[in-house]
Chain A
Amino acid sequence: MDKIFLRFVTWLSPVLEKTGVDTTQLYEILKVKLLMDNRRPNAMFAARRAVKNDGSVKNPWIITFSTMLIGLFMSLVLFLNTGPYLAQTLYFSIFMVMMALTLISDFTTVLIDVRDQFILMPRPVNDRTIAVSRILHITIYVLRLALLQGLSGMVMIGFIDGILAVPLFFVQVLEATFLSIFMVNIIYLVLMKFVSPQKFKDIISYFQVGFSILIFATYYLLPKLINISALENISLLSHWWAFTLPPVWITALNELLMHPGRSGLVTGILAVAGFTVPLIGLWFVAKVLAPGFNRRLAIISTSEGNSDSALNTKKAGRFSVINSLSRILAPDPVENAGFKITWKLAARTREFKMKVYPAFAYVPIYFVYFALNSKGENVSDRFSRMQSGHTYIFLMYMCSFILSAILMNISMSSKYKSAWVYYAMPIKEPGKILSGMYKAVLTLYFLPFCLAMGAVIVSVWGPGTINDIILAFLVSTIYGMLIALFMVKGLPFSRPVVAKQGGGRIITSLIMLVFIGGIGFVHYFLMRSELLIWILIAPFLLITWLMFHFYKKQTWDNIELSDV
């Protein structure tokens, strides 16, 4: 695929040469950039791949295939046999959202490649060549994505509207792509206007997290929420706001040319908008937005833009909260160090957040999925059925999923070599660092999440659930500690990310899952007696305390060292 694009660039050469571009250099730069793109792990799938623990998959075919697969699913929407507009409008809405999200989450790192500054600039390459190579690189990336994503749509539309619709659909895909680029540029510009460069990178990574959550949620929830038969009766154009939606304009192109019988003046106007607006947007990006954009990118890539004194003073106040909190929870100096280092690294390490944060969303999504799965005529009926049941027990125990997601990642870091300090220090009881780590995980992530979930549960099922929530929290804490004891063999952020999971570990994790599931079931049966639950809290509190006591006693023998 890249070769085709490169061939295309060679055809353009005579034209480019006249504008002062060195075409051989251009060709070489593009070739290397595309090669590097193929070898770069794809951010879009990074979050899920991490779960499978094989960070080394860099095969471009897998990415190609998965993009095409997403395109295939999207194109099924086209078969919605409805009145005018609806099917294609839906398709192009999804298309543009996917396009924009992929561009933001995946391509930003390429755009902000600092190394270009030091590798390309000292070579005899003129500015125009570099500028053109950047534009062409983006174009190729975007076109490849658009074609892969739109390919099956193009085939499908051939079956639906006849062979003539295929080239038209190609144009529509291009128009939708242009509009997405325009949208992304606006988002970038707004972001860069209001946040510091350092924050900008953070926000981009939140986009990535949001992206994987979105895909997950769509996969589980959309089929449950959308009633296809209800959709078919919607007449899109009877709503005035529909005229403002760009996908409607793009769809109008198809309506006008493929179904002239049912289209009127309105469709004509919309179609003209669908054809011209994306082009105007592209022109606007190239002429107005891009110049300022490049300047701002340069600021991001230099470290000078990062120092922000106002930000530092604000942070100082927040630290004192952590300080006093850590003094109460982890009084021992070594434990305190473990607590604080975990707290700060977890809150600041982007890769950790990217792997763990989606888990926070998965739990509620799973829950809504199960809730919707229950029998009932409509959504409110299902809800009232759920309210009369005891599914909240299940919800509470599912929270422990978060704890295990955090613990499985807490010892891993791409900068694991910095952990040499632990090995170089005279630490007699590394268990203290571990218990500090565990306390930090609990107070930073798990407790707030459980409190939020608890608040939801109490508001839905009433205050009678409080004892169950407390008990479930204690059980989850014990479960987490078991995971920490048997599965987490490293100090916080001290191990390389490429972790091999031995068969023994999988069995251990299964046993522990059965364990917590078993306790959950026992809890479920005992919950009729409110008093018994309140009484049970006491021994579990004791067990939790004992476990902490034991956990602190971990020696170096229990910890797997990684070479630093």
Chain B
Amino acid sequence: MSDTAIIQIRNLSKSYGSKLVLKHLSLDVFPGQVIGYIGPNGAGKSTTVKILTGLIPDFEGEVLVNGISMAHDPQEIKKLIGYVPENAEIYDVLTPMEYLEFIGKLYGMEEAALRDRAKKLLTAFGLFMNADDRMDTFSKGMKQKVLLIAGIIHNPKIIILDEPLSGLDANAVIMIKELIMRLSQEGKTIFYCSHMMDVVEKVAHRILLINKGEIIADGTFESLKQNHSDTLEKIFSKLTGRGDSATETDAIINAFD
């Protein structure tokens, strides 16, 4: 791993109205790292991701990607990033081929190279037969695969994945997990957001736990285990203040009486 951070976040704050969702967040991410970014609903996870991908242009603090400031040149940064959004928005009246061509051209790729790569990726993801079918007939898993391809088609340095496994079957999940390892060996930086603790536990080199707009834990799974508990799930619930789940289940059981 190199010494200069590829993503530098300094004092990042963001508020919606009077509600502060990110509180002076600071963070360095180094090339080749796989970051597992976890936190309860409403902790500020997706806000961080949206700022990193340029979806939210107004924020306080500084975000540097590859030495470029987000405030000054977001377009240069967007070229370096591949993003797989959580909500699976896609122009589904298009075919995968048309969609990937469109996305690739927005990144300024050459048509011939783009078509070639799109075909190879579609084949690799098992979608070659459906390359020219409209996506409105696709299952959730198939659309998710297209979104994944669209996220890596321009060979980005940083890949931001937000719940990338939703809708995928077990084989595809295994494939994606392996792919994440391989991409990181190639020197790609991966920012992985998920609620599935067992996957994060396995793929992430470094786990960041965010709660109420602040990072409350940062380290490898091993180091987190030593200080807190033995599974990521337990660490998570302990640190986010939900340590006592027994009272909640009690309340549920009592509701039947």
- A residues with a Cβ closer than 8 A to B are 24-25, 28-29, 31-32, 35-36, 39-40, 114-115, 117-126, 304
- Judge whether A126 and B90 touch: CB under 8 Å: no
With A32-B98, A118-B85 in contact, is A124–B106 under 8 Å at CB? yes
Give the chain A neighbours of B98 by CB distance below 8 A: 32, 35
Say yes or no: is B87 at the interface (Cβ < 8 Å to chain A).
yes
A28–B106 CB distance below 8 A: yes
User: Is B81 touching A24 in the complex (CB atoms < 8 A)?
Assistant: no
Q: For the complex, what is the distance from the CA of A126 to the CA of B73, rounded to whole Å?
A: 10
Residues of B within 8 A of A126 (CB): 75
- Asked if B242 is an interface residue, CB under 8 A from chain A, the answer is no
Q: CB-CB < 8 A to A122: which residues of B?
A: 53-55, 78, 81, 83, 85
Mask, B39-55, CB within 8 Å of A = 1, is 00000000000000111
Given known A35-B94, A121-B55, contact A28–B81 (CB-CB < 8 A):
no
Closest to B83 in A: A122
**Of the candidates A39, A118, A123, A304, which one forms a contact with B78 in the assembled complex, judged by CB atoms under 8 Å apart?**
A123
Residues of chain B having any CB pair with chain A under 8 Å: 16, 53-55, 75-76, 78-79, 81, 83, 85, 87, 89-91, 93-94, 98, 102-103, 105-108, 134
13 residue pairs of the A-B complex, CB under 8 angstroms, read A25-B105, A25-B106, A28-B105, A29-B106, A36-B91, A115-B89, A119-B103, A121-B53, A121-B54, A123-B106, A124-B106, A125-B75, A125-B106
Whether the Cβ atoms of B107 and A119 lie closer than 8 Å is: no
Closest A residue to B52 by CB, please name it.
A122
Query: What 9 pairs between A and B have smallest CB-CB spacing?
Result: A124-B78, A118-B89, A39-B93, A122-B83, A115-B89, A123-B106, A122-B53, A28-B105, A124-B75
Contact present for A124 and B107 (CB under 8 Å): yes
By a CB distance below 8 angstroms, the chain B residues around A118 are 55, 85, 87, 89
Whole-angstrom CA separation of A115 from B83 in the bound complex:
14
How far does the Cβ of A542 sit from chain B's closest Cβ, in whole Å?
A: 45
Q: Is the CB of A24 within 8 A of B91?
A: no
Kindly identify which residue among B75, B83, B89, B93 contacts A114, using a CB–CB cutoff of 8 Å: B89
Instruction: Find the residue from B81, B106, B108 having the highest chain A CB count within 10 A.
Output: B106
- Closest B residue to A32 by beta carbon equals B102
Distance A120 CA – B102 CA, assembled complex (angstroms): 10
Chain A residues, CB < 8 A from B87: 118
Question: How far is B57's CA from A125's CA once the two chains are assembled, in angstroms?
Answer: 13
Complex contact A28–B102 (CB within 8 A): yes
Inside 8 A of B106's CB, which chain A residues have their CB? 25, 28-29, 120, 123-125
Partner of B105, one of A24, A40, A120, A304: A24
**CA of A379 to CA of B131, assembled, Å:** 63
Q: How far is the CA of A39 from the CA of B75 in the complex (A)?
A: 31
Known: A25-B105, A25-B106, A115-B89. A32 touches B78 (CB 8 A): no
Residue of A nearest to B77 (CB): A124
| A40 to B107 Cα, complex, angstroms | 26
> Is B55 within 8 A of A36, CB to CB?
no
Q: Which residue of A lies closest to B55 (CB)?
A: A121
Taking the nearest CB of chain B, how far is it from the CB of A198, in angstroms?
19
Distance of A119 Cα from B104 Cα, bound (Å):
12
Chain B residues with CB below 8 A from A117, complex form? 55, 89
Give the chain B neighbours of A24 by CB distance below 8 A.
Answer: 105, 108
Alpha-carbon gap, A32 to B16, bound state (A): 33
B81 cross-chain contacts in A, Cβ below 8 A:
122
CA distance A8 to B79 in the complex (A): 29
Q: In the complex the two chains form, is A124's CB within 8 Å of B91's CB?
A: no
State A250–B193 Cα separation when bound (angstroms). Answer: 59
Residue on B with the closest CB to A127? B57
Residue of A nearest to B53 (CB): A122
Report how far A40 CA is from B134 CA in the complex, Å: 12
**Closest Cβ of chain B: how far from A522's Cβ, in Å?**
50
Task: Report A109 CB to chain B, min CB distance, Å.
Answer: 12
What residues of B have a CB within 8 angstroms of the CB of A304 in the complex?
Answer: 16
Given known A-B contacts A25-B105, A25-B106, A124 and B90 have beta carbons under 8 A apart:
no
Alpha-carbon separation in the docked complex, A118 to B54 (Å): 10
Residue of B nearest to A31 (CB): B102
Residues of B within 8 A of A36 (CB): 91, 93-94
Q: Collect the chain B residues with CB atoms within 8 Å of residue A29's CB.
A: 102, 106
